[in-house]
Every structure is written in C-alpha cells, then in structure tokens.
C-alpha cells in the first residue's frame, strides 16, 4: 500500500469542486504510473544482482534491504521480484524467520531480463586460421548448450575489439593474454582465461633468405594486431628496421613476393599460406622469456563494472572442454559452426 505521505492531499482550498472530486483518481493514477516506471527500472537491476549472487540455495536480502539498495519502495521491490518469478528467472522460497532463499535460477533468462532481451555479443578475431574457427565454435557451442543467446562478431585487431567493448557495442572481446596485459586499463577486466594454445600455437620470425642482408631490414607489421606489433617492437628493438604496414593476411604474400624481408607472425596463420622460400626461426630468448605462453592463451575481456555478471553467464566455459572441441574441429571430427 502507498504510504500516508503519498496519499496525503495538499491544501485544496479554492479548487473547483469538479477537480476536487477527481482528485483521488489523479493521485492513484499518478502513483500507479510512477510505480510502473520504478518497477521497470528495478527489474533489470535485480536480475543483475541475482546473477552475481552465490550459487543457489542462497539467502536473499530482505525486501527492506533491497528497497534501500535500489532507492525504491517496498511495494516496487515486491512487484519486481514477482515479475522475475513469473518470467521463470528465479525460484524463491520463503522460510519463515530465516527469510527468503533463491533455490534456483536461470542464468540465460536473468541475462535476457538484465539486458532487455539483448544477446551476449562477443567479438572474435577473423577466422583466418583453423584454430580461430575452432575457438569460435567452442565458445558458441558451450554457451548455446546453456541456453544463452549468443551473437558472435568478427573484428580484425585486438585493439578494435577492445574498443568495441568500451563503447558498449559488444560485451566481451577475445584476444591473447599477452595483448590483454598490454592493452587493458583498470576499466577493463579479464573475465575468462583459457589454457595455452587456445588462441594460437605461438609466434615466430618469418624471413626470406636474401632479405636478412638488407639494410634497413624491411619488417612487415599489422598495426591492428597488438600481439604482432608489440612482439615486432620487442624482437627488432635497436635494429636497423623500416616498418612496412600491411594486413595480417598479406604478410605471407608480401614475403613470398620479396616486398618485405621479415615479419613476426603466428605459426597457425602462416601454415595456411606458407610460400616457398620463406624461412622461420624462434623469437629471441629474451622476448620469449618476457612473453612466456601468454601470446597463445585466449582470454575474454569485458568492462570491469560488468565483470561479475559476465563471469556468471560465462562460468560454463571450461578450458579443458574448449581444448577438446578445438582439437575435434581441427581434426575434422566436428564441423565448424559459429
């Protein structure tokens, strides 16, 4: 019921009698409209809160506590919880003086309510190698099995994918652990980290046999790829180098045609189109020691403010299962589907 303050009429002296007779309808009509707006705002906020709560069964805050947290009335909280229950997002059980307990929840339905029906949008690298295709297939397969509505977008360059997250155009961006460590600010958060070799099988220096004597050395760099640009700057630090900007898919061709002398690139992508006459060597020990296996680990990065919610809806992404799906895709036992 509305409080006495809400229903208390102002001084109505001097009002037309017809207006005075209509006053109860005006008061109650405005109250209902205000409550509807309040509930519409509270429902997604509660959905996010229930997403980040401990695994059921878990005790919920009291209605009074929730009203204080969400700066709302008790009745609005009651209505909002009722809507969540009707939508099948949560199962709530009242246990007398012990309070109310969430005994079950649907992560996918809570997400849908929290995001007003928007799917989980994940930005991935272009499917330029079988391993990237396999990563996309694994993520889509695992989350879809959990009834999550997932929409994958493919964007060239980890910087561009991270920017899409920061601008709210997607929720998560896939990149290497190394790129995340170099690019992320306190406002960004690694939500999922996968095992080694889930992103790629590592970087090497690819070069032409005649180009090693060139001065300056023409090194091809894809400025959209944070991994490649950062590793290139480390590998050729202090050398007499002329950087040639190009897209990653052009690196093999440019080396093969003699337009460049060297490039740092992934083994996976070079295997797709490795031209004759192009040699390879490992990264220098100093660079390898600094990077470790971080350039081979896939991570999913989101906004720090959303990390709890994103962590809840991606909790089913298990590293071992991702590895197995990737192996099956690359071996031809599973058809890539994303």
Domains of the chain plus CATH, in order, are 4-114 (1.10.10.10), 120-197+296-330 (3.40.190.10), 203-291 (3.40.190.10)
Angle at 140 between CA 137 and CA 146, to 5 degrees: 140
Give the neighbor-by-neighbor strand order of the sheet with 298-303: 150-154, 120-124, 172-176, 298-303, 188-193
Asked if residue 13 has pLDDT above 50, the reply is no
Among 34-48, 230-244, 318-332, the least confident range: 34-48
How confident is the model at residue 32, as a pLDDT? 44
How confident is the model at residue 23, as a pLDDT? 40
Among 15-19, 135-139, 265-269, the least confident range: 15-19
pTM of the model: 0.84
Asked if residue 106 has pLDDT above 50, the reply is yes
Report the number of secondary-structure helices (H) and strands (E) in the chain.
Answer: 14, 13
Higher pLDDT among residues 90 and 33, named by residue? 90
Enumerate residues 6+ apart whose C-beta is below 8 A from 336. 127, 133, 134, 136, 137, 329
The 8-class DSSP code of residue 32 comes to: H
The answer to whether the CB of 103 falls within 8 A of the CB of 56 is: yes
Helix (H, G, I), strand (E, B) or coil at 325: helix
Mean pLDDT estimate for the chain: 88
**What is the rounded CA–CA span in Å between residue 150 and residue 314?**
11
What's the half-sphere exposure (Cβ side, CA atoms, 13 Å) at 196?
Answer: 7
Say if residue 227 is exposed, middle or buried (CB neighbours under 10 Å; 0-12, 13-18, 19+): buried
Pairing of strands 217-221, 241-245: parallel
Asked if residue 112 has pLDDT above 50, the reply is yes
**What is the rounded CA–CA span in Å between residue 116 and residue 239?**
53
How confident is the model at residue 248, as a pLDDT? 85
**What is the rounded CA–CA span in Å between residue 317 and residue 190?**
14
**What is the rounded CA–CA span in Å between residue 178 and residue 293?**
8
Among 65-79, 185-199, 293-307, the least confident range: 65-79
Task: Provide the pLDDT confidence category of residue 211 given band limits of 50, 70 and 90.
Answer: low
Residue with tokens 């950087």: 243
How confident is the model at residue 212, as a pLDDT? 67
Asked if residue 9 has pLDDT above 70, the reply is no
Asked if residue 66 has pLDDT above 90, the reply is yes
Residue with tokens 């997932």: 150
The answer to whether the CB of 54 falls within 8 A of the CB of 105 is: no
**What is the rounded CA–CA span in Å between residue 202 and residue 182?**
17
Asked if residue 3 has pLDDT above 60, the reply is no
């Amino acid at each position: 019921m509305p409080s006495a303050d809400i229903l208390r009429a102002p001084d109505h002296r001097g009002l037309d009698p017809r207006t005075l007779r209509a006053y109860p309808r005006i008061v109650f009509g405005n109250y209902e409209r205000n409550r509807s707006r309040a509930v519409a705002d509270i429902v997604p906020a509660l959905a996010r809160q229930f997403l980040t709560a401990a695994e059921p069964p878990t005790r919920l805050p009291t209605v009074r506590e929730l009203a204080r947290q969400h700066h709302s009335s008790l009745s609005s909280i009651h209505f909002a919880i009722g809507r969540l229950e009707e939508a099948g997002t949560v199962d709530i059980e009242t246990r007398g003086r012990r309070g109310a307990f969430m005994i079950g929840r649907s992560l996918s339905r809570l997400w849908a309510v929290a995001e007003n029906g928007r799917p989980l949008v994940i930005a991935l690298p272009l499917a330029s190698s079988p391993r990237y295709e396999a990563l996309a297939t694994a993520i889509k397969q695992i989350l879809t099995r959990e009834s999550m509505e997932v929409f994958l977008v493919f964007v060239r360059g980890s910087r561009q994918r991270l920017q899409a997250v920061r601008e709210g155009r997607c929720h998560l961006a896939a990149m290497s652990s190394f790129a995340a460590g170099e690019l992320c600010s306190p406002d960004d958060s690694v939500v999922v980290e996968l095992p080694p070799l889930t992103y790629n099988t590592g970087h090497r220096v690819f070069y032409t046999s005649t180009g090693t004597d060139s001065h300056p050395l023409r090194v091809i760099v894809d400025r959209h790829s944070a991994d490649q640009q950062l590793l290139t700057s480390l590998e050729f630090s202090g050398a007499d180098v002329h950087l040639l900007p190009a897209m990653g898919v052009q690196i093999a061709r440019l080396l093969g045609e003699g337009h460049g002398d060297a490039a740092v690139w992934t083994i996976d992508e070079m295997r797709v189109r490795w031209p004759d006459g192009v040699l390879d060597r490992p990264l220098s020990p100093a660079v390898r020691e600094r990077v470790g296996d971080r350039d081979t680990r896939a991570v999913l990065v989101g906004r720090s403010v959303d990390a709890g919610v994103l962590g809840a809806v991606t909790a089913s992404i298990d590293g071992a299962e991702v590895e197995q799906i990737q192996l099956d895709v690359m071996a031809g036992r599973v058809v890539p589907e994303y």
